[in-house]
């Protein structure tokens, strides 16, 4: 069996939050997440806002130090001692192209900063040539390098962010909702850019988003998160056509259908109640307070991700 490029096991990320003047409570942003990503594949990670998707991505690239669990890259566990050696292998593209770029820096400085930090050029001319090549790779002109981020549209700014991530020639990129702040027409262009770069450079993605259609388009497999846990993971076509977990079924039923006649026949599964606070997660299955299949067992035990068919895993006692 081939070794996975990235392997995450029982990853937990807790943030201490002051709940009263004398007391602190752990906010369980990520609570025991496990998955793997093979070289050259795209794993989509979806879920409601606040479910912990972004925290998973940022913890993997060590922007947050994990509370517990292991993250292995090419079989080697990443820790405080060796993280610097992995910085060139793993990069992240942030969600908001407006706040993730320094307004005081030119595009050449933004894209060239990783080259400076890792000393990836031997002369000024080589640096300028590399920046021009990176901009060309993401669909921008070399002339853009002298301008500032505020002079560009949202889509162009996100391309600058992608060029910055590619500067150190990484093999794995966390795409943290990279199209959610963009217009729909621009979203398609950026998604196509990601796919072209993957084919050209052999990249591997963790693609985080809340739009299932976007994730289905770009991903080979999809993992669904709810309140810090992965509740289902399956090949993208299998997940959309045969969802097993009640939460996944509800998400898929909410996907808009362009044909009015088909939309009328479609059964919409509406969830009752609100998402519980991660400061006070329900006992047992976190989804049970909104689940129409919940039983007494769901209140007492936490369902584990179990294999239901080839490549398809679900965390539910009743489905």
What are the CA-CA distances from residue 274 to residues 148, 237, 288, 319 (Å)?
Answer: 42, 29, 12, 22
* pTM exceeds 0.85: yes
Nearest to 68 by CA among 7, 8, 12, 15: 12
The CATH code of the domain at 6-89+170-314 is: 3.40.50.300
Give the whole-angstrom CA distance, residue 250 versus residue 243.
9
Domain spans in the chain, listed from the N-terminal domain onward: 6-89+170-314
All residues at 6 or more sequence positions from 204 whose CB lies less than 8 Å from its CB, including other chains: 5, 6, 37, 38, 39, 40, 41, 42, 171, 172, 173, 198
pLDDT given at position 264? 67
Give the whole-angstrom CA distance, residue 77 versus residue 52.
22
Q: Map residue 198 onto helix, strand or coil.
A: helix
The one-digit pLDDT tens for each residue of the chain (319 residues) are: 458 999 999 999 999 988 777 888 889 999 999 999 999 999 999 998 889 999 999 999 999 999 999 999 999 999 988 998 899 999 999 998 889 999 999 999 999 999 999 999 999 999 999 999 999 999 999 889 999 999 999 999 999 999 999 999 999 999 999 998 888 889 999 999 999 999 999 999 999 998 888 899 999 999 999 999 999 999 999 999 999 999 999 999 887 777 676 666 677 777 877 888 888 888 999 999 999 888 999 999 999 999 999 999 999 998 6
pLDDT given at position 1? 45
Ordered strands of the 229-235 beta sheet: 90-93, 172-176, 204-208, 42-46, 221-226, 229-235, 312-314, 306-309
Output the DSSP codes for 92-105.
EE-S-TTTSS-TTS
All residues at 6 or more sequence positions from 18 whose CB lies less than 8 Å from its CB, including other chains: 24, 25
What are the CA-CA distances from residue 195 to residues 117, 147, 160 (Å)?
Answer: 28, 27, 16
Query: CA angle 195-196-197, nearest 5°?
Result: 90
What are the CA-CA distances from residue 86 to residues 35, 68, 83, 131, 180 (Å)?
Answer: 19, 19, 5, 22, 28
Give the whole-angstrom CA distance, residue 14 versus residue 228.
10
pLDDT given at position 272? 78
Give the whole-angstrom CA distance, residue 278 versus residue 297.
21
């Amino acid at each position: 069996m081939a070794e996975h490029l990235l392997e995450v096991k029982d990853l937990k990320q807790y943030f201490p939050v002051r709940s009263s003047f004398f007391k602190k409570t752990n906010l369980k942003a990520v609570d025991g997440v496990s998955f793997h990503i093979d070289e050259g594949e795209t794993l989509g990670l979806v879920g409601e806002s606040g479910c912990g998707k972004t925290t998973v991505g940022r913890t993997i690239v060590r922007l947050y130090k994990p509370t517990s669990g292991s993250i292995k890259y090419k079989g080697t566990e990443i820790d405080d001692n060796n993280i610097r050696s992995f910085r060139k292998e793993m990069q992240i593209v942030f969600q908001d192209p407006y706040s993730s770029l320094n307004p005081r820096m030119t595009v050449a400085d933004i894209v060239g900063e990783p080259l400076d930090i890792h000393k990836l050029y031997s002369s000024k001319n080589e640096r300028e040539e590399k920046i021009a090549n990176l901009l060309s790779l993401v669909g921008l002109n070399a002339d853009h390098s002298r301008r500032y981020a505020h002079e560009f549209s949202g889509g162009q700014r996100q391309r600058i962010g992608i060029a910055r991530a590619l500067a150190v020639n990484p093999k794995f990129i966390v795409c943290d909702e990279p199209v959610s702040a963009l217009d729909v027409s621009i979203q398609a262009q950026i998604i196509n850019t990601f796919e072209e770069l993957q084919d050209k450079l052999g990249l591997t993605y963790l693609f985080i988003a809340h739009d299932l259609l976007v994730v289905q388009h770009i991903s080979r497999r999809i993992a669904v998160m709810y309140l810090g846990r992965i509740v289902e993971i399956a090949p993208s076509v299998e997940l959309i056509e045969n969802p097993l977990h009640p939460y996944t079924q509800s998400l898929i039923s909410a996907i808009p259908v362009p044909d009015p006649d088909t939309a009328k026949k479609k059964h919409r599964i509406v969830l009752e109640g609100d998402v519980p606070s991660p400061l006070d997660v329900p006992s047992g299955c976190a989804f049970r307070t909104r689940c129409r299949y919940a039983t007494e067992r769901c209140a007492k035990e936490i369902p584990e991700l179990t294999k239901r068919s080839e490549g398809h895993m679900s965390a539910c006692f009743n489905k």
